[in-house]
Amino acid sequence: MNTESHSQLAAFIWSVADLLRGNFRQSQYGRIILPFALLRRLECVLEPSKEAVLTAAHTHQAKPDPVREKLLLRAAEQPFFNASPLSLGTLSDTQTADDLLSYVQSFSQDAREIFEHFEFENFVQQLGAGDLLYQVVQRFAAMDLSPQRLSHYGMGLVFEELIRKFAESSNDTAGEHFTPRDIVHLTTSLVLTGQDDKLTHDGIVTVYDPTAGTGGFLSESDGYMQQVSGGMSVSPHGQELNPESYAICKADMLIKGQEVDQIKLGNTLSNDQLAGERFDFMLSNPPFGVEWKKVQKVITDEHKHKGYDGRFGPGLPRVSDGSLLFLMHLVSKMRPRQEGGSRIGIILNGSPLFTGGAGSGESEIRRYLLQHDLVEAIVGLPTDMFYNTGIATYVWILSNNKLAERRGQVQLIDATGRASKMRKSLGSKRQFVADRDIEEIVRLYGAFQENEESKLFPVEAFGYRRITVERPLRLNFQASPERLAKLDDEKAIQKLDAGEREALKGACATFDPEQVYTNRDAFTQALKAALAEAGLKIGAPVQKAILNALSERDPEADICRDKKGNPEPDTNLRDFENVPLGESVFDYFEREVKPHVPDAWIDEDKRDPLDGRIGIVGFEIPFNRHFYQFTPPRPLEEIDADLKACTDRIKQMIEELSA
């Protein structure tokens, strides 16, 4: 069967939707068609061994379930079995629902579980209530989905086409569970290109997707590897949070004859069901900008107690976006380099590139990835590529076994211009990356050269040290009526009893209201004398409160100094400078800061907790800045001419209206 025939068969199967119109919403069609297509395929595959299984089921009916299951699997000669004498073609027209559910219950556990997660029973009852069930059953019973007509690979293509139709028909929520095929193809190609030494005919590789969705990445990578190797052994692993997507993923793999016991249901971040495993290739499209508050305690505990022995050693991103948690989760599952290493392809939105300043969780994660030389390339995709969002997205390619020429380097590829318009939008997806552009992007990546669309940078280029620049506090002091009125606002003075408070204000009022002191020490001495004259003894908090109320910042005043004679910093004038990593912070300061603010200094106590040097290390990847091209504005004469033409038209319209 060729590709066109597969598409025609998928369209024929999907035409069952004609029966469903009116009784079901369009977004529900796939929830009925997919499990029925799976059921018919499994039935056709099991047909040759059906009698043997029924005989074995009768013979071993008294044995414990685990033992019986193994014996029936052996009789079926498949990774699944069905111990019911029924089939879609023999279901009763009077008790179709009961017969059908009894039939499905007779499958082995892996297959039965898929129907449960499809909520198959619920839809069977709805079909029955609408007098549609027997008609739908008859339609599927008449389809020839036997292995003689359709290989596992061919049926896989048909099922993937059905999944795609389901994604398109439910594009309001599809983006959460379906990654568009063009993006899957591009990411898979980038991760697997140049890996021919691993993709050999007799090779065995493991592929993992922690956000498996409906299994698009697992299917695509399997197809790619089979095509390149001519029939290697691919072991797919994955975990998915959404039960329905999980069911589709397992169904797709079961249809292709693949093992499904390494596809898990649950939250990858809080309950990693493949803990301790390592994989050759990893592919993922985690949800964009999704908060992780629900699993915050589990993740924070792992970060605190396990550190680098866990998945989140370097740091945690803000709770509003968990994308980088999935990236760190994947990194923790890389094979050691001496065992061949691993490659990762993950799709992220823009925030993991630059969100969070020096010392933040996001920056520390980027620092870990870059300083461990794990980031190989980042590809900027066009906008409007996904079903449920039009935002800018990026494919990150990571490896812990880089080629010699790539070590210490990161390649940025701008593929934002490589989009083709779709004939019909699907939700927010208005554009796609055509095959020719995918090939060109992969070629740009493989060439590893600089041009308009590809830039190469040393890892250090994305790092900086944030130094704290202080300037001295300069204050003048005056006992003017306005400043004396501020004494009542100071908490330390409010705590005094009324008599003491009035005596203190009276002592301050003895100063000449016109006299301005520009030296704090001189004013403090005068203040102490005035208070002693009034017979008042005050503590340090009250003295500080008086100085605060009667002072104002004054760039012409003397510098305020501490007891050791060092200048006191003015927190209002505190500033930060990002010094490129590798450059001396003092050289930078002398060149960039000192000429503009000669009295400034670096706070040398602010040091990086990891390397102990002055300044907090930060990392960010300003992707767009590196590809920005300045477009000069149009000449003023052109703009003026356009404005004149516009005003002339408006005048003409007004004249026509008033005529």
pLDDT along the chain (659 residues), means of 10: 72 90 88 92 92 91 87 88 91 89 91 91 92 93 90 80 78 59 91 88 89 87 82 89 87 81 92 94 90 94 95 95 95 94 95 93 97 97 82 95 95 93 79 92 96 95 97 96 93 90 92 94 94 89 94 96 93 96 95 95 95 96 85 84 91 85
- For the full predicted model, state whether its pTM sits above 0.85: no
> Exposed, middle or buried: residue 611 (CB in 10 Å: 0-12, 13-18, 19+)?
exposed
What local confidence, expressed as pLDDT, does residue 177 receive? 58
Distances (CA, A) of 501 to 401, 490, 496, 506, 542: 73, 11, 6, 9, 10
Distances (CA, A) of 139 to 37, 143, 307, 634: 10, 7, 57, 65
Tell how strand 463-470 and strand 575-580 pair up.
Answer: antiparallel
Name the residue type at position 638.
Answer: E
Q: CA 579, CA 616: separation in Å to the nearest integer?
A: 10
What local confidence, expressed as pLDDT, does residue 292 receive? 93
- Integer-rounded Cα Rg, in Å, for the chain is 35
Packing angle of the helix pair 109-117, 96-105 (nearest 10 deg): 130
Tokens 């670096």 label which residue? 602
CB atoms within 10 A of CB 94: 8
In contact, 337 and 401? CB cutoff 8 Å: yes
In contact, 79 and 260? CB cutoff 8 Å: yes
DSSP 391: -
In contact, 417 and 164? CB cutoff 8 Å: no
Q: Which helix (H) or strand (E) holds 181?
A: helix 181-192
What local confidence, expressed as pLDDT, does residue 175 receive? 47
Packing angle of the helix pair 3-14, 152-169 (nearest 10 deg): 50
Reading the block at residue 125, the tokens are 């009852």
Residues 6+ apart with CB under 8 A from 92: 99
In contact, 474 and 558? CB cutoff 8 Å: yes
Residues 6+ apart with CB under 8 A from 525: none
In contact, 211 and 285? CB cutoff 8 Å: yes
In contact, 160 and 253? CB cutoff 8 Å: no
Task: Give the side-chain half-sphere CA count within 13 A for 357.
Answer: 8
In contact, 103 and 90? CB cutoff 8 Å: no
What local confidence, expressed as pLDDT, does residue 164 receive? 77
- Positive or negative, the CA dihedral 322, 327, 328, 329 is positive
Q: CA 475, CA 378: separation in Å to the nearest integer?
A: 51
Packing angle of the helix pair 133-141, 96-105 (nearest 10 deg): 50
What local confidence, expressed as pLDDT, does residue 582 receive? 87
Residues 6+ apart with CB under 8 A from 582: 460, 463
In contact, 16 and 33? CB cutoff 8 Å: yes
Closest CA to 602 of 465, 475, 461: 465
Phi, psi at 409, each rounded to 5° = -125, 150
In contact, 487 and 508? CB cutoff 8 Å: yes
Q: CA 542, CA 545: separation in Å to the nearest integer?
A: 5
Tell how strand 551-553 and strand 475-477 pair up.
Answer: antiparallel
What local confidence, expressed as pLDDT, does residue 222 receive? 86
* Domain definitions of the chain by residue range: 1-170, 173-462, 475-553
**Which residue blocks in 60-132 are alpha helix, DSSP H?**
65-76, 96-105, 109-117, 120-129
What length does the chain have?
659
Reading the block at residue 11, the tokens are 């369209």
Using alpha carbons only, what angle is made at residue 367 by residues 363 and 372, rounded to the nearest 5 degrees?
A: 160
Q: CA 598, CA 589: separation in Å to the nearest integer?
A: 10
Closest CA to 332 of 344, 318, 350: 344
What local confidence, expressed as pLDDT, does residue 633 receive? 82
Spelled out in words, what is the top-level CATH class assigned to the domain 173-462?
A: alpha beta
Quote the distance between the C-alpha of residue 376 and its chain's center.
Answer: 18
What local confidence, expressed as pLDDT, does residue 616 receive? 96
In contact, 248 and 34? CB cutoff 8 Å: yes
Q: CA 105, CA 117: separation in Å to the nearest integer?
A: 13
Task: Give the side-chain half-sphere CA count within 13 A for 531.
Answer: 17
**36-46 b/e (C-beta count within 10 Å ≥ 16 → b):** bbbbbbbbbbb
Phi, psi at 441, each rounded to 5° = -65, -45
User: Which residues is 379 bridged to in the sheet?
Assistant: 395, 413
Query: Number of helices (H) and strands (E), helices first, in the chain?
Result: 26, 17
Closest CA to 400 of 458, 460, 342, 446: 342
User: Which residues is 618 bridged to in the sheet?
Assistant: 464
Q: Which helix (H) or strand (E) holds 531?
A: helix 520-533
Reading the block at residue 144, the tokens are 């020839």
**122-156 b/e (C-beta count within 10 Å ≥ 16 → b):** ebbebbbeeebbbebbebbbebebeeeebeeebbb
What local confidence, expressed as pLDDT, does residue 444 receive? 96
What local confidence, expressed as pLDDT, does residue 473 receive? 97
Q: CA 354, CA 550: separation in Å to the nearest integer?
A: 44
What local confidence, expressed as pLDDT, does residue 227 receive? 82
Contacts of residues 28-33 at CB distance under 8 Å and 24 or more positions apart, as own/partner, are 28/123, 29/166, 29/169, 30/162, 30/163, 30/165, 30/166, 30/169, 30/170, 31/118, 31/119, 31/123, 31/166, 31/244, 32/123, 32/127, 32/136, 33/162, 33/166
